[in-house]
Structures are given as structure tokens and as C-alpha cells.
A and B are shown apart, each in its own frame.
Chain A
Amino acid sequence: MTNLEQYKAQYVNQNIQFVVIDFDGVIVDSDQTFMDLNKGDYIYDVHPFFTSYSAMLESLDETITYNCVHIEFLEKEFITDVKMIKKDNGILMVIYDLTDHYISYQSIAQARNESIINSEFVILKNLELEERERFKNAFIRNFSHELRNPLTGIISITNVIEGTNLTSEQQQMVSFLKESNSNLRLLLDDIMSLSMISSGKLQLRDKVFNLYELLQLIEFTYRTKAAKKSFDFVLNYDKKVPEFVEGDRLRLFQIITNLLDNAFKFSEKGEVALTVKLNQKRANKVSIRFKVSDNGVGIPKEQIDSIFESFKQLESISKQQGSGLGLSIVKGLLELMDTSIRLESTVGQGSEFYFDLTLKFPLDLASKPILKNRSTDTGISQTHKGRKFKLLMVEDDERIQTVLFKALMDTNLFYIDLVNDGALVFEQVTNNDYDVILMDIDLPNIPGDHLTKLIRDFPFKNIKNIPIIGITANAFEEQINEYLSIGMNAVMTKPFDLQELVETVLKFLKK
């Protein structure tokens, strides 16, 4: 033998076994390379795989190869490729032992499959969480929608009752009723805010506004509140802070008042202070620190992280006034403004909540907004003196009809027509010359937003341009924007303030 043949015998032939069987499956010959087979035995008794020799007999193929077949023989496992070749007197089986090769393939396949399965589970888990979040938000949305209608009725009717002749006992009950209404309304607003923040639906609306005016309003409100309690409210503000800044005034107001309400809730003595300080001014940007400090009960260290979680709050201070959602709202709003709330607190001494906010401010003083003269109702009624206006009220809820009717009639400025079905509006509008329409959105047959579109598309100017004020229980900003974009002049959300409603109607009256 040459060297090469020796090597081949040593390294290759060791792993290849030749077996010959007859057409009945009886072993005729075997070279016994790695399995000792007895001549005369049935091959299918060696391992069930070999029953496939019978398929070979039925097949037209002369050669069939089976790859990666596991064969257990005398408690040892071989992973093999098996070639079956038809011969004149039987079948030749060539069995390649490729165990080492296939074992390394097995470990690769194992890692690959495991990682695919794991990532599938992560995706499924996320989908499930998103689904839950969606369900939660939809639930809150529907729930608050459903609550707003009856609440509007209750608030409005309470206001009507308040204006009638009442005994002092009845007056007391009405004022209790009003307080409960307003708490309920605040709670509802908080839940909505939180739902909008967590679903990413809340968008900041940055505009130039007068920060000093905002602070003065806060000072006035909380001085009054503090006067009723036995502590002081102090506002400290740095004169270097610009008077006009660009930001979302409403949300900043919400953040500060939530922090102050929280401080008031937990204070019994000393003072609550709001401090507004300039950090730095660069180009047209200014960083301002807002700090609310109190001499209240303080917060234990271990609770500091959890007090911003909405449900923790609900649990621990459920006996306190308010929804307890204020701090979660603060946290969410500040995150939207790319900053965060920070807190230092000592039990028994008090707490300090603070945040740094970067705002743009106009360098050019000419860009100061022109302060609009607020139109008071006396102002308006003087402008329109001696004239009455034709108003169409489209509303199907009888409670709201009653309340609106009374509030509008009390001004003595309107002739009012009432329609309670969307399908009847168009006829009414084309046959009358209305100065303004109050339009509910949820109407039988044709919804109010649809009607508004139809009116705005009308060819005649006197109809096309009638001012339309929408009334809706749907307080979501995107929805309100949609109503405005299809042509409503203003949208009032339920529960609304009657005074505000009358002012809005007067503001948009057809000139």
C-alpha cells in the first residue's frame, strides 16, 4: 500500500460502512467498520430506519440518499448519511458516520432557533402590553365621555337653581353641591390629562405669553387660598427672568398649580413658596428654575420614587382632597417639555419640588403680543344695543336644552329656535336667517360635524358664513382641532361654564 492509501484507510474508511442486504432485508454482508452486524439478521431489527429499504424496492430510483439520520446502535448514537444503491441480488448500503460534523451543526441550529423563539416571545409580549395600553386608554376615553354629559347637566342645573329664590339651608346645600361638582370635574380633567399624556396624544402648544402676568394670577389665587388656612403663600421672582417667553402657558400653569395644590394639601403651618429664578440666558433662550417649597410633613426617602406613580398616589392619599394624580401629571408634562421634576424632602420639615425649564424668549420687543381687550358681556350688549339675534340651538339632550335655553334667554339678546334632530337642521337653516348656531356633535341621524361641513359648502354666503359654535363631550384636543378645521368657529366642551358659553356666542355673532 502507498502512504496515501494508508492514510485513507486510517482517516476515511474508518467512517464508512458497507452493508449488503437481499430483497427480504436479510443482511448478506457487512464490513463492520463501526457497527458489528450479524449476517442472517433482518436489517430492520438493527434500527427502525432500515425499514426504508422497502421503499427503495418500490421506487424507480437506483440510488437514494438519506442525510443526517440518527442511528442508535448498542447504546451508541451515530449521525449518518446513508446511501442505498440497487444491485442485482439486493441492496448495497453505504453508511457514512458524520457524527462530529453534525454535532457542531446541531449546536449552531440550537443557538439560532432559541434566539428566534425568544425574540418572537418578546414581540408577542410587547404587542400584548400595547394592546392593554390601548384598551386602557380607550376605556378612559369612553368612560370620561359618558361622564361628561350627565355632569354637564348637573353643573348647569345647579347653576340655574342657585339663581332662584332659596332659603339659607337650600343655599348651603347648593353650595355643597357646587363644590362636589367642581371636585368631580377636576378629577375627570386630571384623568383625561393623564390618559392623554400616557397615550402620547397630548401636544404642547408654544406661544409667546406674559410670564409675569401668569405669576401674578397664581399669586392672587394662592394668597386667597392660603388666607383661608393658617399659613402664608409667598411668591419670589427674579427680575432678570424675561417678562415674555415662548412656551405652553396652559401646561406650565397646570404644572405649577398642581405642585402648589400638593404643597397646600400637606401643609398646616409655616409657608408655601413659589420661587422663580433665572439660571442662564443665552441667545434667545432662557433657562428658568421653578421651585415650590413647603413646611409640610415631608416625604420619607423610600417613597420618593413612587409618589409620581399615579396609582401609588391614589392608594396612599385617597383620604385627601383631590384626585392625587397631580404629581403624575406634573411628571408627564415635564417629560414632554424635555425636563424632569426633582424633589428634596425631609420628614417633619418639608419638601422642595423643582424643575429647570428652557424657554425661548423674543429678543425683539415689538414681537410682544398685543393684549386683546377682553370683551365683557356688558361691552358686547352695548355694541349690539337694541337688537336681538336669531339663534338656532341644535341639541337633543333635554337637560342641556333647558339649561342653555335659560342661560341664553336671561341675556335678553336672543330669539331661539330649537332643533333636536340632525336631519331637520338644513331645512331650518335655509328658511331662516340665523345670526349664530349652537351645534351639538352627537345628534340623531346626521352628526353636528357633518352638518357643519354641509353648511360651509353651501353656495349662498348668508348661510355658508353663519357662525357655528360646537358643543361636545369629547374633550380630546385632536378632536376639537378637527371640528375647528371643518369650519366651526369655536368648540365648547361639556361640562361648560354658562357665562363662558354666552360670552363665546356673543363673540362670534354675525356682524
Chain B
Amino acid sequence: MQKSRKIVILGHFGVGKTSLIRRFVSDSFSDNYKVTIGVHITKKVVELDADETVSLIIWDLEGTDEIQMIRDSYLLGTHGLVFVFDVSRPSTFQNINEDLKILASKTKGVPLMVVGNKIDLILLNELQTLLKANKIEANYLTSAKTGDSVNEMFTQLASLLND
């Protein structure tokens, strides 16, 4: 069996989790919002070096505004987490630091990336202001629509988990 790593993508509903994965896996995008229920799992083999690949098993979780409610079984055996918020909707990041604390207590020691998505919808200076005002330390700021930083984020995570 090829070396595989399970990563779980989570966050509030409508932040673009499924779109980020679709951009990464099949380099496509759709503006139509289709709610994810439960979990969708996809696999993508990532080439880290000429002779080194890792197979990412990506769990796309149903969005929820209550992290506490995420089913424990979904998080079982997870190697990495991606918490996504929508920079254009304050409700998805207003309690982000609380949410991340709860998540950390559920997934002790699992590496986590914080990603602000939909950056195509707001101006750069507004973005900086809102990150500062809400004390958000985002690892990546992405746009699934334009593809901005999407591959970088997943590849970075893959190489982090490969070590």
C-alpha cells in the first residue's frame, strides 16, 4: 500500500471546503453551492519530489458552526487538519479562536492549518484589517475560484505530513 495520509477539512458551512478540494483535485470550480452532508472522501497522489509521492486521503466534512458536534469517528486516525473560514462572512470567523481550541482538544497533537478562503471577494486592505481585528492567524489565504494559493496549501500540508 502506498504511503497515505488522512487529512480532514472542516469549518462552517458555505466557506468553500468542497470547492477547495475540487480545485486541488480536478482543477475546476463551480459557483453553484451544493451543501455537503456527512462526509465525501477523495484521494489525490501528490508528488513531493521526483521519486517521492504521498497519497492524500481528503475527508470533506459537512460544514457546521458547532465544532463540538463533529462526529469523533470522522477524526479518527487523522494526520492533518484544515480549518477553513470565509473571509467575506464574519459569522464563519467571529469565534475562530474558540473553535480552534475545541478542535485542538478533540484532536490532540494533530497538525492544523487555518485557511481564509474567498479572498477574491474582498480587498486586500479590508482583509488585513479583519484578520487583525479578529486576531486570526491564518496559514493560507486562498481563493478556490481563482485557484490562488490552493495547490500551495495542500502541497505544503502534504510535505509537512510526509516527514
Contact = CB atoms under 8 A, between A and B. Distances in A.
B89 A48 contact: no
A110 B37 CA distance: 9
Contacts of B14: 113, 117
B37 A113 contact: no
B19 to A, nearest CB: 14
B1 A55 contact: no
Given A106-B35, A109-B35, A110-B34, A47 B41 contact: yes
Contacts of A25: 1
A55 B38 contact: no
Interface in A51-102: 51-52, 54-55, 58-59, 64-70, 79, 102
A47 B77 CA distance: 17
B40 interface: yes
Given A25-B1, A110-B35, A117-B14, A55 B43 contact: no
B4 interface: yes
B39 interface: yes
A66 B40 CA distance: 12
Contacts of B76: 52, 55, 59, 64
- Determine which residue in A70, A79, A124 has the highest number of CB atoms from chain B within 10 A of its CB, and name it: A70
B80 to A, nearest CB: 14
Contacts of B40: 70
Contacts of A51: 4, 6, 57
Nearest to A59: B76
B1 A117 contact: no
B41 A49 contact: yes
A44 interface: yes
Contacts of A344: none
Given A42-B1, A68-B62, A48 B38 contact: no
B1 to A, nearest CB: 7
A120 B77 contact: no
B73 A65 contact: yes
Contacts of A106: 35, 37
A120 B94 CA distance: 13
Contacts of A44: 1
B60 to A, nearest CB: 9
11 contacts: A52-B6, A52-B76, A54-B77, A55-B6, A55-B76, A66-B73, A67-B71, A70-B39, A102-B37, A113-B33, A117-B89
Interface of A: 25, 42, 44, 47-49, 51-52, 54-55, 58-59, 64-70, 79, 102, 105-106, 109-110, 113-114, 116-117, 120-121, 124
Interface of B: 1, 4, 6, 13-14, 33-35, 37-43, 57, 62-63, 71, 73-74, 76-77, 89-91
3 nearest A-B residue pairs (beta carbon):
A68-B38, A55-B77, A48-B43
